[in-house]
Amino acid sequence: MPIKVWIPARMRSDLQALADHVGIKLSQYVREIVISRLLGHGTLPKRPEMIEAVPLPSAEEWCDGRKIPMRQVSRDEYWKAAEGEMRTDWVDE
């Protein structure tokens, strides 16, 4: 039976990232989570792709303290990132 579930925006964004990592739709990913929690993983085994960590090479370099070349991104590309945030600070002159 189809149901709708309200998910906070930040949690939805995290779930979407995990669904994208496995290559399935968000609705399918949430369905699998609900089924596995209610009926156990015996009815719906875990996806091996979820355990694989695929770090970006630049993230590894940054963690090692090496210099990372910076690049300017468009406003649209920035807002597509889940962490996109814009702040405005007013300065009195």
Domain positions in the chain are 9-66
Length of the chain counted residue by residue? 93
**How would residue 51 be classed by pLDDT, with cut points 50, 70 and 90?**
low
What is the chain's alpha carbon radius of gyration, rounded to the nearest angstrom?
19
Residue 23 CB partners (closer than 8 Å, separation 6+): 49
> Which range among 8-17, 26-35, 37-46, 62-71 shows the weakest confidence by mean pLDDT?
37-46
Task: Indicate the DSSP class of residue 50.
Answer: G
Do 5 and 30 contact (CB within 8 A), yes or no? yes
Cα(55)–Cα(60) distance, rounded to whole angstroms? 7
pTM (two decimals): 0.47
